[in-house]
Amino acid sequence: MWRIIGHNWAVELLQRAIQNGRVAHTYLITGPTNVGKRSLAIEMAAALNCTGDSPPCGICLSCLKTARAAHPDLVIVEPQDGRLKIDQMRDLQRELILSPYEGRWRVCIITDFQTATVEAANALLKTLEEPPARVVLILTATDSSSLLPTIVSRCQILPLRAVPTREIEQTLAERWPEQAESARVLARLSAGRIGWAIQAAEDPAVLEQRRQDLEGLHDLLKQNAAGRLEAAENLSKREDLPELLRLWQTWWRDVMFVGLECEELVVNLDYLDTLREQALRYDWTQAEQALGGVQDTLQQLTENVNSRLSLEVLFLSWH
């Protein structure tokens, strides 16, 4: 049984591929951070080497090893210091030459491929051009447009979309019935990212970090130009800068909706009073412009534009 929340269409597609013996050499799973890309990749790896009657059964030795990332035929490659590097791809090429040790397939999951250096991407391309037998590669990335077209063209793409809010709320309420009230707030805050919702329900530190980041935005808006430039320099060093900006996106979106008298669309429900106060300071058109500015900055970060300069332009545009 596939332990995936949402994304039923992707699960059905992968199930049919395995059942019909038509597994692709390379899959590319795209979607927002924490939407479930890595979880789907792990379940696919489990299904490929499952020894039970209904892959992935979740209880056979192969499935249990895969869930712990301890299967000898599973290789997981993740960014080092924020980037996927050429040495990692070269090590992977040596790994993929080997035949499966225990299972039917050697499965390699490469996460966050949008962080790959040009050299690393080109090194992987050589593997994709002549894929080894009995090997399945699964790449994850936020967006296929940030990858080399020659790599994308050799992948079967699975674009994951946001999980419906109601489905996330139901999942949280079932797993943590004592937190049924907060399930609604967390489901809204998740913006369809089931991974984030579960993490926030399990770990209070997630919501505490969110509180600090929103207060950081409020403090930033009170700063003069010099203060904002200093903030840009400090925040540009954060490894989770894109995640921070996405949170701030939800804030400006909510300010805009409050200004348009559409409070039923607000995501940050627990800050509704503060949103109403900010909607008096920033009308909906200003909030819309601020929202667009954050989106532009996120796009620039994917293009390796200097993050400090991008933040300086963004912060100084907020009047």
Is pTM beyond 0.75 here? yes
Q: End-to-end CA distance of the chain, in Å?
A: 52
pLDDT at 82: 83
Q: Residue 269: CB partners within 8 Å, gap ≥ 6?
A: 184, 185, 188, 189
- Which of 3-7, 128-132, 213-217 has the highest average model confidence (pLDDT)? 213-217
Tokens 């079932």 locate to 174
pLDDT of 152 > 90? The answer is yes
Average pLDDT estimate for 127-151? 91
- For residue 125, name the pLDDT band (cuts at 50, 70, 90): very high
Query: Rounded to whole angstroms, what are the CA distances from 206 to 97, 186, 199, 202, 213?
Result: 41, 11, 7, 9, 11
135 φ/ψ angles, rounded to the nearest 5 degrees: -125, 135
Q: Name the E strands within the chain.
A: 26-30, 74-77, 106-110, 135-141, 156-159
pLDDT at 177: 81
pLDDT at 183: 87
Tell me the per-residue pLDDT of 61-87, one tens digit each, with 9 for 90 and over.
999 999 999 999 999 999 998 899 999
Q: Which tokens hold the place of 196?
A: 């984030």
- Which of 37-46, 163-172, 201-210 has the highest average model confidence (pLDDT)? 37-46
- For residue 126, name the pLDDT band (cuts at 50, 70, 90): confident
Cis peptide before 32 (omega within 30 of 0): no
pLDDT at 180: 73
Do 37 and 195 meet the contact criterion of CB atoms below 8 Å apart?
no
Tell me the per-residue pLDDT of 23-54, one tens digit each, with 9 for 90 and over.
999 999 999 889 999 999 999 999 999 999 88
Contacts 24+ apart (CB under 8 A), 252-258: 252/287, 252/288, 252/290, 252/291, 252/294, 253/287, 253/291, 255/279, 255/282, 255/284, 255/287, 255/290, 256/284, 256/287, 256/288, 256/291, 257/284
Tokens 């699960």 locate to 11
From CA 309, how far away is CA 319, in angstroms rounded? 18
From CA 92, how far away is CA 183, in angstroms rounded? 41
- For residue 239, name the pLDDT band (cuts at 50, 70, 90): confident
pLDDT of 97 > 90? The answer is no
Tell me the per-residue pLDDT of 2-30, one tens digit each, with 9 for 90 and over.
889 989 999 999 999 999 999 999 999 99
**Neighbouring-strand partners of residue 26:** 137
